[in-house]
Amino acid sequence: PYNGPTKEEVLETRKQFLNPALFHYYEKPVMIVEGKQQYLYDETGRRYLDAFGGIVTVSVGHSHPKLVKAVNDQNELIQHTTTIYLNDQVAYFGKELAAKLPPHLDCIYFVNSGSEANDLAILMARLFTGNYDVVALRNCYHGMSLGTMGLTAHATWKYPVAHGFGIHHALNPDPYRGRFGNDGEAYAADVKDLLETGTSGRVAAFFAESIQGVGGAVVLADDYLKHTYKHIRDHGGVCIADEVQAGFGRTGTHYWGFETQGVLPDIVTMAKGIGNGLPLAAVATTKEIAATLQRRIHFNTYGGNPVSAAAGRAVLEIIDEEGMQENCKVLGDHLLGRFADLEAKHDIIGHCRGKGLMLGMELVKDRDTKEPAVAETKKVFEDMKDMGVLIGKGGLYGNVFRIKPPMCWTKEDADFMCDALDVALSRL
């Protein structure tokens, strides 16, 4: 049992010494002292079902024994070297990760966070193409570094300082709220117009999450990427897929989110689930694009350190050994079925969406006006916690539940969450 400082002491200490911008998710903060598989435990030993995985970061389950062993073994050997020396873990992790990607994306650069990965992707795209304009989507989230803050498109995350220049935000191909519904080709035509009117006509890159995460599990309209990639390439740009949330089997039908749209990106960025919680991220691209970094020296102190690399290698193995991609498919389909039943019963549910274990449920006050049901979402969210289920919340107005649990969830977990949602929604 836990016998450290009390929750109140921790809260007070955090308030005193950590930046006040840090927010806690619940009115009365939850303190987590232990995690096993799909469960989290607070300081009193109370168990919660984890439906959010620390923002989609815990992919294969909390403290998975195989991963713990891989990390511990590496810890005992050596914790850190940097890439100025050779180390087997980093090199072989690169090889194993490349084997999971389309064959042309066989050159990996390891970094520590999604923001760093996306910064590096922009840098490579600009060097490779000789252009600087970048197109991203409204409602996207790509990071908090000054470079990626320019990409990120929610006012809530953008500080009024100079950040990421040369970025143009296209209409979001959101089938529920977007202007053209589920017509991906129409949104792509808007990108073409943007390229021809808002830029010099030559661009460096197009950036998109395969399913928007922070924006509320928004699945891009059908065929959107296929048409948009063509327009971008016609205008000299490369196409970048941010797989920070949607990658590693989570969508169920495919290992990578971009595959669900049938496209082949030129650069893929990854973070979060890649290391199951250890600081680890990566940029995968072609040898030709990667070679542009050789024009100067590029260095990242912790990028691909042996401990994180050992974790990453274990994650790849666990996903395959335990059939987690297939589990995401089966559970995702089951959950969407249960969501449909809830939608039929509760008028406040405006839209349910997603793929595999990357799902969203949007609450609205009125199904016609689609006015976000912000206070109601918050209430259900708190109620779910009191019933022992920690779900996620997102979208610009915070009116979308984000269901992105560790990929070791079971049907019983899925049903328990849906039953709890039914109770919480009925109490509104």
Q: Interface with ligand PMP by CB under 6 A: which residues?
A: 55, 113-115, 118, 141-143, 209, 213-214, 242, 244-245, 271
Shortest reach from residue 224's CB to ligand PMP, in Å: 17
Number of Cβ within 10 Å of residue 374's Cβ equals 15
Angle between helices 306-321 and 324-345 (to 10 degrees): 70
Helix (H) or strand (E) holding 111: strand 107-111
Least separation in angstroms between residue 244's CB and ligand PMP is 4
Q: How far is the CB of 258 from ligand PMP (least distance, A)?
A: 13
User: What is the amino acid identity at position 349?
Assistant: I
Q: How far is Cα 24 from Cα 42, in angstroms, rounded to an integer?
A: 15
Give the nearest distance from C-beta 381 to ligand PMP in angstroms.
18
Find the shortest distance in angstroms from Cβ 142 to ligand PMP. Answer: 5
- Please give the sequence-ordered ranges of beta strands (E in DSSP) within 188-285, or none if there are none: 205-209, 211-212, 218-219, 238-242, 267-270, 281-285
Residue with Cβ nearer ligand PMP (54 or 236): 54
Comparing CB distances to ligand PMP, the nearer of 209 and 362 is: 209
Token pair, residue 72, equals: 């511990």
* CB-nearer residue toward ligand PMP: 218 or 384: 218
CB of 182 to ligand PMP, least distance (A): 22
Helices 65-77 and 306-321: angle between axes, nearest 10 degrees:
160
Q: Strand 358-363's sheet: what is its strand order? A: 349-355, 358-363, 400-403, 392-394
Task: Return the number of the residue (163 or 346) whose C-beta is nearest ligand PMP.
Answer: 163
Cα separation of the two ends of the chain: 36
Phi (first) and psi of residue 49, to 5 degrees:
-85, 125
The residue number whose beta carbon is nearest to ligand PMP equals 114
Q: How far is the CB of 326 from ligand PMP (least distance, A)?
A: 24
Cβ nearer to ligand PMP, comparing 115 with 131: 115
Comparing CB distances to ligand PMP, the nearer of 74 and 269 is 269
Whichever of 203 and 358 has its CB closer to ligand PMP, that residue is 358
The DSSP bridge partners found for residue 366 are none
